[in-house]
Chains A and B, each alone.
Chain A
Amino acid sequence: MIEITRLVKSFGSLNVLKGMEMRVEKGEIFSILGKSGSGKSVTLKCIVGLVVPDAGDIVVDSVRVDADDRKSLAAVRKKIGYLFQGGALYDSMTILDNLIFNLSRHRKMQRSEAADRSRHYLSLVGLKESLNKLPSELSGGMKKRAALARALVIEPEILLCDEPTTGLDPITSREISELIGSLHQQFHVTAIVVTHDILCAGILSDRAGVLDDGMLKYTGSIKELAAIQDEEVAGYFKSPLQ
């Protein structure tokens, strides 16, 4: 379970989070919708201690995230697979080595065992043919898949996905969403998915919330959100063809 209470974060005079509250139950997929620049990535980064909040509490499975407490931070990070917005694949390593590196650093594991498991996860996301390619040789969709495999290879209890489908064509983005969904069914991870792709949120999530003006507004199921009249929320549900 992930619980965020009264989270505050500013960069200089820019107040990004203004007392945000969020609660994600174990095994649930929760989507955070929100305009670009609303603080979605900052929220995810606070959860893994990459960004240190000015105030507020984050508790992950009853461990408080505290950047000063190296031990508890490491314990929290061990549970979390993080899919970065741009993939953040290590560009000096092949795709396979990206996974092996992540796995062998996260879990004390023999290289051969790590390599086997990495291959397995890469074939799971449909990249069996591209093991030995460098990230620069992959298309945008393939990069996202590889990054997803890298997040999953440590078999995390919690998955944080930062805009898994942004910048992809509609077909690939649906595939990625369905992939995350099916992996969730297999592994029962708790997941937070940041997106402004309502289709992705709809395919994936049990519940969603809209991040606006530093707070999470309108939390509820996608159906409940769709019924809300507020322009801010209704905007996500407008079909481009209407």
Chain B
Amino acid sequence: MKKFFASLYDLTSFSFRFFKEGAVPPYEIGEFAGHLENFGSRSLPLVSAIGLLMGLILALQTKPTFERFGAESFLPAMVAISVVRELGPVITALIVAGRVSGGIGAEIASMKVTEQIDALEVSSVDPYRYLVVPRVLAGIFALPLLTAYADLLSIIGAFIVMYVTGDMGWQLFTTSTLHSLSIADVVPGIAKTFVFGFIIAIVGSYFGFRAKGGTEGVGKAATSAVVFASFLVIVTDLVLVKIGILIFE
């Protein structure tokens, strides 16, 4: 437990360094682009599949209940709101945490244990600026895009259910979806994905930098990164939901 809080403290100061180091040149544009692509290519297939399934399941599962109250016409609204506000951002973040946080952890850890990070430092390259900053920026950019994409697929999933069961056409579905979504749903939903992107990349980097020993240390860093990033995503979400309610309602 004491170790946990010590890590949390370390992680916090590690995170704050981002705002200090990220602002100063040289900017590693090439690195940033590479890592952005990495976020996309590593998580896109899974995000696509789960996004679509999320919409299908949500619609299938709630349809009977809505029907019981004669409220099928509200189903698109319900799916859109729950996906955009909550499920889309959190589930996307958890998927990416699993795919990318561990990847970043392993990458940096293996550089650490094979002295590549020492080599950077001796070449007057700041390892934090070179390795961490571009990854974190990539995370901050990638998560909103991935989430918006997952949201869209979920809504399409829900439409498929409505269409196949013959309850609703495309026109009606889209208007009722669009009408149901307000700024108070969309803004907090997307805003928190920036935070999730930050968490995923910074936690991966942190455990990478802390790695010790040989290949064993690399595996440990990857696992710890996934566990800790997922946990922090959920806890942060709780806090952000509360803040969102305070601001928008």
The 6 closest A-B pairs by CB, nearest first: A88-B115, A88-B119, A84-B115, A82-B122, A105-B123, A102-B123
- Least Cβ distance of B33 to chain A in Å? 14
Bound CA span A86–B111, Å? 12
Add 16 more A-B contacts to A88-B119, A102-B123 (CB < 8 A). Answer: A45-B118, A50-B118, A74-B124, A77-B122, A82-B122, A84-B115, A87-B114, A88-B115, A88-B116, A90-B111, A91-B110, A91-B114, A91-B116, A105-B123, A105-B125, A106-B123
Question: Which of A80, A86, A89, A91 lies in contact with B122, CB distance below 8 A?
Answer: A80
- A221 CB-CB contact with B under 8 Å: no
Residue of A nearest to B125 (CB): A105
Query: Which of B116, B121, B122 is A90 in contact with, Cβ under 8 Å?
Result: B116
**Distance (Å) between the CB of B209 and the closest chain A CB?**
14
User: Least Cβ distance of B233 to chain A in Å?
Assistant: 27
A84 near B119 (CB under 8 angstroms)? yes
- Residues of B close to A85: CB separation below 8 A: 115
Query: In the complex, what distance in Å separates the CA atom of A42 from the CA atom of B74?
Result: 68
**B124 touching A105, Cβ below 8 Å:** yes
Which of B111, B115, B122 has the largest count of A CB atoms less than 10 A from its CB?
Answer: B122
Q: How far is the CB of A66 from chain B (nearest CB, A)?
A: 15
Q: Which of B114, B121, B125 contacts A86 (CB 8 A)?
A: B114
CB-CB nearest in chain A for B119: A88
| CA–CA, A43 and B136, complex, Å | 34
- Interface flag for A78 (CB, 8 Å): yes
Q: Measured between C-beta atoms, what is the minimum distance from B117 to chain A in Å?
A: 9
The 8 sampled A-B contact pairs (Cβ below 8 Å) are A48-B122, A80-B122, A82-B122, A88-B114, A90-B116, A91-B111, A91-B114, A106-B123
Tell me if A50 and B122 are in contact (CB < 8 A). Answer: yes
Chain A residues touching B, majority SS: mixed
Min CB–CB distance B41 → chain A (angstroms): 15
Residue of B nearest to A85 (CB): B115
Instruction: Please indicate the chain A residues that have their CB under 8 angstroms from the CB of B118 in the complex.
Output: 45, 50, 84, 88
Q: Enumerate chain A residues within 8 angstroms of B111, measured Cβ to Cβ.
A: 90-91
In the complex, per-residue mask of A58-97: 1 if CB is within 8 Å of any chain B CB, else 0: 0000000000000000100110101011111111000000
A143 to chain B, nearest CB (A): 11
Complex CA–CA separation, A74 to B123 (angstroms): 9
**Count of residues in A whose CB is under 8 Å from the partner chain:** 20
Residues from chain A with Cβ under 8 Å of B114 in the complex: 86-88, 91
**In whole angstroms, how far apart are the Cα atoms of A121 and B109 in the complex?**
30
Min CB–CB distance B178 → chain A (angstroms): 44
Chain A hits for B116, CB < 8 A: 88-91
A-contacting residues, B4-39, CB 8 Å: none
Chain B residues with CB below 8 A from A50, complex form = 118, 121-122
Q: Which residues of B contact A91 (CB under 8 A)?
A: 110-111, 114, 116
Residue of B nearest to A48 (CB): B122
With a CB–CB cut-off of 8 A, which chain B residues contact A74? 124
Q: Give 1 or 0 for each of B90-112: 1 = CB within 8 Å of chain A CB.
A: 00000000000000000000110
A80 to B125, CA, bound (A): 14
CB distance from B229 to the nearest CB of A (A): 22
With both chains docked as a complex, state the minimum distance between the C-beta of B211 and any C-beta of chain A, in angstroms.
15
Complex contacts, A88 vs chain B, CB 8 Å = 114-116, 118-119
Task: Tell me the smallest distance from the CB of B156 to a CB of chain A, in Å.
Answer: 37
A106 touches B119 (CB 8 A): no
Q: In the complex, what residues of A have CB within 8 A of residue B119's CB?
A: 82, 84, 88, 90
Report the minimal beta-carbon distance from A159 to chain B, rounded to whole angstroms: 12
Q: Which of A35-68 contact B (CB under 8 A)?
A: 45, 48, 50
Given contacts A86-B114, A88-B115, A106 and B121 within 8 Å (CB-CB): no
* Highest count of chain B CB atoms <10 Å: which of A48, A74, A88, A90: A88
CB of B115 within 8 A of CB of A86, answer: yes
| Complex Cα gap A88–B125 (Å) | 15
Distance in angstroms between the alpha carbons of A87 and B115 in the assembled complex = 8
For A41, the closest partner residue in chain B by CB is B115
Contacts of B110 in A (CB 8 A): 91
Q: Which residues on A sit within 8 Å (CB–CB) of B122?
A: 48, 50, 77, 80, 82
Q: Which residue of chain A has its CB nearest to the CB of B130?
A: A105
What's the minimum C-beta distance from B202 to chain A, rounded to whole angstroms? 20
The distance in angstroms between the C-alpha atoms of A78 and B123, with both chains bound, is: 7
CA distance A90 to B116 in the complex (A): 6
Which residues of chain A have C-beta atoms less than 8 A from B125's C-beta? 105
